[in-house]
């Protein structure tokens, strides 16, 4: 999940030159209204853009990504209600708070403004001090959201720096909404999926364990997706946001290769590579049938290899053989996740 998209270089330079860095888009088809608000906001240190129609408003909002929009409800052509609905339907502009300006004071019109996506409204004739006060409340919330997004981005970058891939899934719909480049490559390689599709195994894992994790405040078990002697281990890292529409969860994952472990077990326990490979999957809790499928052989062949392992290790059961192997793995590869 990334933060709100950045503005164009030209608009960013306007932001940087403004007293407080906030960019305001005023939308009104009456020039006098625009002039009054423009002057008041300009004197207060805001950078101001104007639009005189719904079509212009949509274009300016898409190009400039303002921090807040003051939107006239009643305009010819595309009215303010429709402008708000379109802005909220576009992921690039959905985060922008909209304050409606309206001469309509009937409850149904005010409700319509809020239902269209407005966070607030002011009534005409416009009082600049009231508009500034209302704006400041919503801009403070927008600033906090941007700061949270930056901090979340820094945390995700730190995870990447330590070799972890990460991605964010929105529940309950199970949509993948953000991922690092490494996560994209790993999910494609292990699961054959790409955003916004979340692997079915991940959705099933979340659906089964999230309720218990929320109720008991415990971390769900690691999800491991195997591919030969390598596996992709996924952990639920943290909840990144919550609203009435759902929750967003940050998941981190790391690829773990068993090749080096298998080779080390073969040498230290005096096993053939195939015997060491069978023992590796026994440690992973796999049955003979599972091992046969993984290695492209039959369960009977896996059983024969395992019987030879018993003899060489001087043990009689799978549990005992796994215990010897786990002890040796911890000695040879203490950082390896069993």
CA dist 159 → 140, 152, 201, 322 (Å): 29, 11, 22, 32
What the chain holds in terms of domains, given with CATH numbers, is 9-149 (3.40.50.2300), 163-257 (3.30.450.20), 259-332 (1.10.10.10)
Residue 267 neighbours by CB distance under 10 Å: 11
- pLDDT of 213 reads 74
DSSP category for residue 280: H
3-state secondary structure 181-204: HHHHHHHHHHHCCCCCECCHHHHH
Place of tokens 């009054």: 36
Query: What does the alpha-carbon distance between residue 120 and residue 258 come to, in Å, rounded to a whole number?
Result: 57
- pLDDT of 148 reads 62
The partner residues of 69 in beta bridges, in order of sequence, read 25, 98
Contact 156, 135 (CB under 8 A): no
- pLDDT of 160 reads 53
Query: What does the alpha-carbon distance between residue 108 and residue 313 come to, in Å, rounded to a whole number?
Result: 80
What residue ranges of the chain have pLDDT lower than 70?
1-21, 105-106, 145-164, 229, 241-246, 332-338
- pLDDT of 19 reads 42
For the chain, give the longest Cα–Cα distance.
94
Place of tokens 């039959």: 298
- pLDDT of 7 reads 45
Q: Read out DSSP for 90-152?
A: STTTTTS-EEEEES--SHHHHHHHHHTT-SEEEESSP-HHHHHHHHHHHHHHHHHHHHHHHHH
Q: Is the peptide bond before 172 cis (omega within 30 degrees of 0)?
A: yes
Contacts of 304 (CB under 8 A, 6+ apart): none
């Amino acid at each position: 999940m990334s933060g709100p998209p950045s503005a164009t270089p030209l608009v960013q330079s306007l932001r940087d030159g403004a007293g407080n860095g906030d960019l305001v888009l005023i939308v009104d088809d009456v020039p006098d209204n625009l002039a009054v608000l423009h002057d008041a906001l300009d004197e207060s240190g805001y950078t101001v853009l104007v639009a005189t129609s719904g079509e212009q408003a949509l274009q300016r909002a898409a190009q400039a990504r303002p921090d807040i929009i003051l939107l006239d409800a009643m305009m010819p052509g595309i009215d303010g209600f429709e402008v708000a609905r379109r802005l909220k339907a576009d992921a690039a502009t959905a985060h922008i708070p909209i304050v409606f300006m309206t001469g309509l004071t009937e409850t149904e019109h005010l409700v319509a403004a809020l239902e269209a996506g407005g966070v607030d409204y002011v009534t005409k004739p416009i009082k600049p001090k009231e508009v500034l006060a209302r704006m400041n409340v919503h801009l403070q919330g927008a600033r906090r959201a941007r700061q949270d997004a930056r901090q979340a981005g820094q945390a995700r970058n730190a995870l990447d720096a330590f070799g972890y891939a990460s991605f964010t899934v929105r529940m309950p719909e199970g949509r993948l909404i953000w991922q690092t480049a490494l996560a994209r490559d790993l999910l494609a390689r292990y699961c054959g999926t790409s955003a916004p599709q979340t692997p079915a195994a991940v959705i099933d894992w979340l659906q089964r364990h999230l309720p218990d994790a929320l109720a008991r405040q415990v971390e769900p078990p690691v999800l491991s997706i195997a591919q030969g002697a390598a596996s992709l281990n996924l952990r639920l890292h943290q909840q990144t946001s919550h609203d009435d529409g759902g929750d967003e969860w940050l998941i981190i994952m790391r690829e773990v290769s068993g090749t080096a472990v298998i080779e080390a077990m073969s040498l230290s326990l005096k096993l053939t590579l195939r015997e060491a490979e069978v023992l590796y999957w026994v440690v992973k809790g796999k049955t003979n049938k599972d091992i046969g499928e993984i290695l492209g052989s039959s369960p009977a062949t896996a059983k024969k290899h395992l019987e030879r392992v018993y003899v060489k290790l001087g043990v009689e059961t799978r549990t005992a053989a796994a215990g010897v192997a786990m002890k040796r793995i911890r000695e040879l590869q203490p950082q390896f996740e069993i």
